[in-house]
Amino acid sequence: MVEIIPTHVKDVYICHIKQFKDHRGKLCELFNMVKYPEEIKKFFPVQQITWVTNRKFAHRGLHIAAYSKLLTCIKGSVYDVVVDTRPDSSTYLQWVGVTLSEENGYQLLVPPDCGHGYLALEEGCAVVYCQGGCFLPSVPEKAVHLFDKAVSVDWPFIDQKSNFLISEKDSKVPFLEVDIEKFKPNRKRILIISSKGQVGQLFFRKLTELNDKYVVIGTCYSNDEPQHYKFDLKTAAKDPAHVDLLLDACKPHVVIVCGAMTNVNLCESEKELAYLVNRDSIEQLGKQIKKRGAKLIFFSTNYIFSDPLKPDLPQDRIDMLANDVGIKEDARPNCVNVYGKSKLDSEKVLQDNDPNALIIRTSGVFGHDSKKRNFVYQVIGNLLGGNKMTLLTDEIQCPVYNDDLCRATLELMEKNCSGIYHIVGPEAFNKYTFGVKIAEIFNLDTSLLVPMSSEELKLPAKRPYFAALSTAKFRKEFPEFKFHNVSAAVKDWQTKQMKAGKFLSEF
């Protein structure tokens, strides 16, 4: 079966065909109805096959046809682009690009009624079109200008566009008449790695709401909805081409990496996998992102620290704004488990490779999550079900409201900040006290929460003791920014997500 890679543009797929080589030469099937999955076959059978040769910098398109096309480059290489020109599509005016070459074996499926064009990157490039319909000169052609500002395709060699070879007809295509407020020219493209995770989904939603400023693209394992590209951190760690294809397709200005292997106990038992996902994939992403001149934003963790408990401080709740006792960005790390070590390693490879990268350390993220994964959901779910829950008394950190984390990150992004910043909430709790706080807010039975020390609980992975981070650096640079304490955060969460009095229906 031919491998297909769903892209972030609806109905657009990258196909990867096998090439069979021996001493006689090379053989590959450009199309085989038996071997292609239904996602591709539904656009065919093939009605016409077209072969085109091109001089270097020849540009064809962006042409809109009522039928599908499957493009293959059989000589040289081209940068091939599809623009969604279907007004009723959820990815209207978004585009995807991919380098097709005789060596990489990629094909690009162009669905009907979408703009399509390519730029020849070498002299003598040859491209084959398998078409789901026939070109008829009598049918009026539609097109999008290759430099249309509402689309803003990021063509390679744009600094040499005066050398592009464009037909007179294509050069005279008028720009699209669209709502300029909704589709502002040259919007910044934001790529969110793992946009279905707890942090990623919030960034995806928040940035999508700002669609006058950003084009937002997410990645996930399954690609079950538009604006999401199928991407896997494990594959990325082993195969640089997987990363290259993603960045080629999206051409992001900013990449926000939200994905990680965060199950602390699993990291301890699956060390190789933890380092593969948390360190090696980030190293590959960092190299490729820097090469393209994009901005990388990476989320790290307070688990790279474990200071001794501070007996002179209150053990139930610490006001971190009144007591400047948090761990600062330049403090010496002290990792006590594989999860922390793998995240620290990823920080180091990013700092060594790209001084412009932004690293945000955070902890205990809570707030609305469609999959109900964070600590607050766990506490409420257990207590509503009448289940006891054992919580640590000697792991102290600052839980952060996910909305605050998102807002703070966007502030840093807009100012193009780099280096390391701590973004956490203004209160420090141990897990037990935090659980009691949540239970009290919702008038739930606190007696079901069982306090226990790390030594008593004997978890597979050791937890840090005092890992409460200081936000002094961020607050100094952004003095107007206000973090929510837990009570205020829950109230804000309730207001934003649920109708009055129905908040617990989430659980």
- How many CB atoms sit inside 10 A of residue 367's CB? 25
Burial of 466 (0-12, 13-18, 19+ CB in 10 A): buried
Strand partners, 361: 300, 422
Q: State the Cα–Cα distance between residues 463 and 449, nearest whole angstrom.
A: 19
From 106, 129, 303, 421, the catalytic residue:
129
Q: In what order do the strands lie in the sheet with 125-131?
A: 3-6, 13-16, 106-110, 69-75, 125-131, 48-54
User: CB of 244 within 8 A of CB of 289?
Assistant: no
DSSP string, 117-167: EEEE-STTEEEEEEESS---TTSPPEE--TT-TTT----TTGGGGGG-EE-
From 59, 63, 228, 484, the catalytic residue:
63
Residues in the chain: 507
In sequence order, the 6+-apart residues with CB closer than 8 A to the CB of 317 are 427, 428, 429, 433, 437
Q: State the Cα–Cα distance between residues 198 and 297, nearest whole angstrom.
A: 16
- How many CB atoms sit inside 10 A of residue 32's CB? 11
Q: State the Cα–Cα distance between residues 69 and 130, nearest whole angstrom.
A: 6
Is 63 assigned a catalytic role? yes
- How many CB atoms sit inside 10 A of residue 334's CB? 16
Using DSSP, state whether 179 is helix, strand or coil.
coil
Is 229 assigned a catalytic role? no
User: CB of 122 within 8 A of CB of 77?
Assistant: yes
In sequence order, the 6+-apart residues with CB closer than 8 A to the CB of 278 are 260, 261, 267, 339, 342, 343, 345, 346
Helices 486-497 and 402-414, interaxial angle, to 10°? Answer: 90
Q: Which residue has the tokens 């008449």?
A: 177
* φ, ψ of residue 117 in degrees (nearest 5): -165, 170
User: CB of 7 within 8 A of CB of 110?
Assistant: no
Q: Is the dihedral of CA 323, 328, 332, 336 positive or negative?
A: positive
Query: What are the catalytic residues?
Result: 63, 129
